[in-house]
Structure 1
Amino acid sequence: MRARVLHLTPREEAAKEAAALLEGAYLPCESTWVANAAALGSALRGGIPFDLILLGFETREDLAPLREALGLHPGVPVLLLGGAGEDLALEALRAGATEVLPGDRLGRLPFQVRRALAEARRAAALQEAEGARGRLGSLLRAVLDATSEGILVEDLAGRITAYNRKFMSLCGIPEHLLATLEMDKVIQFLVDHFQDPGAFLDEVRHLGALSGREPLGLLKSLEDRQIEGTGRPCRLGGETVGRVFSFRDVTDRERSAERMKQVIQAQRPFLEAAADAGLVLLHGTGEEVALSETAQGLLGLGARNLPRSLDALLALVHPEDAPALRAALDAPRASLEARLRTAAGAWIRTAWTLGRDAGGRRLGAFRDITGDLRGRREAEARAREDWTAALATAFARALRTPLENLRAHLDAIPPGDARLREAQACAGLLSGLLDQAARAALREPAPDLLLDLNTVAERIRPWAEELAGPRITLRWDLQPGLPTLPLSPGHLEPVLMNLLRNAREALPSQGEILVRTALAPGDPPHLVLEVGDTGPGIPPHVRERMFDATFTTRPPARGLGLTVARHLVEAAGGSIQVETGPLRGTTVKVNLPVGGPPG
């Protein structure tokens, strides 16, 4: 960056010589030459921010331009060039000149200019830093004074580094005492103005050994006001440099809480009658909360971490359940379930009943239902197993007679007919399905066989091509090299047949059916079998019940196909997903874990 230099000298040759010296020393400059004091004043007032001023210096009269330059451009270095005597040079330096360079030492001009510019930049940076620090200090003071809590900050040496006026008014501390910046004197003042000074000192010492935010408890003043204090270590760059204390007046809140405790005490018979329920009483404003002893016991709370406000209570509620609980508090009466965090950090499930008393106060009771839910889930699992067994038995009975009739008709077909092989393959599939149903009914494991997903698809392919007919396009996208599954091949064939039959029936005249197999990444990875069609999609009312037993949209069909398919997939540890929408068809995706069903 080129430095802007203003040079006052009667001789233009002298100005050019100085500029050449600077250029030769690799000090690029934009030099402005003026020949007299009047031109110098005009240049100084012209609005150009000069970085350096060079003044010819021969007589005492040359001190006047020096003073004018320093007055109009304070902070800009001024070098005097000439042969004035030593006494006059000292007078110029006392007047504010940066350096006086005699004419016979003009060769040192680049060095003096470089040093003067560097010092000027350092001074400007220091001035800017001081200004920024001053602005930051003013901003910090404004923020502290705008805070609703009283703030007091001390360093590790026990010196006060910051405080606000709210702290002075809350604790009644005179400003002259805080002006001493001595923490010991402030603590002694607080000790003399609270009813239990020993407890206060204990809390302050306790905080010094901790790393997180800690309450100082309630400090009761001699004027019967109650001040709540908290403190935390103050860190800078990961290093503890002091402590921050905050205080607020909670007299009204504590008095309301005391009144609510009295109400709870009056309702003790109700509490004893419902010993397993925790009672929560909220003030009409909803900002103050009191918990019964039973509620405190259920959550493992003590006096130090007891929630005293609605926000503090909601902080114990699981983030996913907190909005519902907050909304229920505004209703005249409500019931809901919510997860609460205990003092030990565990989550428990609770059932809440909320209402209002005659005085408009909100009253809530909650029970720990964690054990109840666990028992309910176990009962539901047993019920599903019983349902599966009953379904498998009914399915086997429903298929037994049609299968026997099919085999009787097959015996009447002459040998060698191509349709005979296909019909026999269908009979084999039905027989495998009956075996699966029988094992499910008896809760027996499947045989220890290996299932290749692509092999199953290829075995079904001739049957599927005939099912599709000439106007339906059947495409196969089978990823090679898929891992095998520890399942019987007959376990998946009925699933694929049912999905293909449903896809074909969704295309009454024309369209396309895609069968795709793939290995999807994940932890663990899983195999994917997809059957998609370009039909009109599944209506929402059918989508909701399509896996229900006995539900069908095609009487006299029995509606067991998709139900059995889902059962077979879930028995293999997999899942079925359905993606459908108007005018974009339907895709049914079967996901099977590579490890097979859980043991």
Structure 2
Amino acid sequence: MHRLLQRQIDRYLGEQGAIPENLSQFLAAVSAAYESADADHLLIERSLDLMSRELTERNHEMRNELSIRQRAEGQLEFLLSLLDATLESTADGILVLDKDARVVRFNRRFVEMLHVSDEVAALWNHDTLIENLQGQIKDPAAFTEKLEYLCQHPEEESYDTFECNDGRVIERYCLPPPQGEEKVGRVLSFRDITARTQAEQALLREKEEQKALIKKLEEAHNQLLQSEKMASIGQLAAGVAHEINNPIGYVNSNLGTLEKYLQTLFHVLAAYEQAETAMCDSHVQAEIRTLKREAEWDYLKQDIFELLKESSDGILRVKQIVQDLKDFSHVDEAEWQWVDLHKGIDSTLNVVHNELKYNSEVVKEYGELPQVECLAHQLNQVFMNILVNASHAIGPDGHGRITIRSGTQDDKVWVEISDNGKGIAPENLKRIFDPFFTTKPVGKGTGLGLSLSYGIVEKHHGRIEVESEVGKGTTFRIWLPVRQSAG
């Protein structure tokens, strides 16, 4: 009998022997029920114990998972905070796009640089942000096309610049995403390089100004060298003129006196010839006739005056050359003066006569020119350079023509020097005024003549025009103002 039932019977009925048979059967049934309940209870206890242990283990696993998740969330929060700090601490504007070229993220520097309004920045709406950006950029279509292109070609590196409506210049730079990051679109960096661009432009301008200054210094140096050369020539010409003029003066005077003496002598001889027929001594007459015949008396009387005339002409020619040298160099005229250009051209032609006489015929077709305010010796140098070049273009074996024309137009005069030489090749035509450029063989030219001429004409506020055709010749036309401006 179940122990609990036995305890109750003993309590109320005493000994078991006093229990009726029917009650005993009932008690047996109850005891069996108790025993069955104990078995079920034991099973339940065991099930509950098993469930408790399972719940304990599961709870421990959940606590572990929760701890891991909390650590992961903390780490993620730290990484996001680090990313935010990185994005916001960089000096560049950052714009992040997904693969469809839609805005994912941007930093505060980007907002400030592209003048994105706070309202638009707070919305984080792609369309609104792009519309706001397009309103700030000079070429909005190109800007958005570039963003789409970069997202469609993630393997490409890109660097370019664009200009904002307010004149600022923005640099845009983008590297390909790391391998394996297919979900990422593109990360673009933006930097305001307006100050740098302005500094670079200022540096370029300064370099150009330096180049122009160096060129001017070279031209001034070359002109100084040429001026010193011309001054030396002028001083030499003045010295030569002084040294030659003195002997030429007394030779010319002596020739004039000799001519007078000879005329007197021939008058006396003519009187003797008249008296010759009156001589009675035929022997003396025969001797005189023999002497006159041997001396070729009739020819001598005629030729001696021609010799005197040629000598006088030669002396006059030497005097003219000396004067032309003085006129060409104008050594005593360093200031601006009113000058007859035709006289300067004629003087220059006489100076370079030896250079031209063997291969060139000079044709003058002068027009009416007023006197021109200029530095005559410098313009004569220009004429000389062009005339000598014309002679060289014709060549030593040729017989060409150099034509000099002149005229006026409004308040300007022009002088044109043309030759029918070999001409200038088109590729050289634009370089002929460059310093040291020459097509002549080494030792035959410095390449400074036309460069100096160009500078001289510019100094006179004029210009030089040139036309040339290979095989037909070249024409230089020099334009000069009649009066120099006050500046």
Q: TM-score, normalised by structure 1?
A: 0.37
Whichever structure has more strand as a proportion of its residues is 1
Whichever structure has more helix as a proportion of its residues is 2
Please say which structure displays the higher CA radius of gyration.
2
Q: TM-score, normalised by structure 2?
A: 0.44
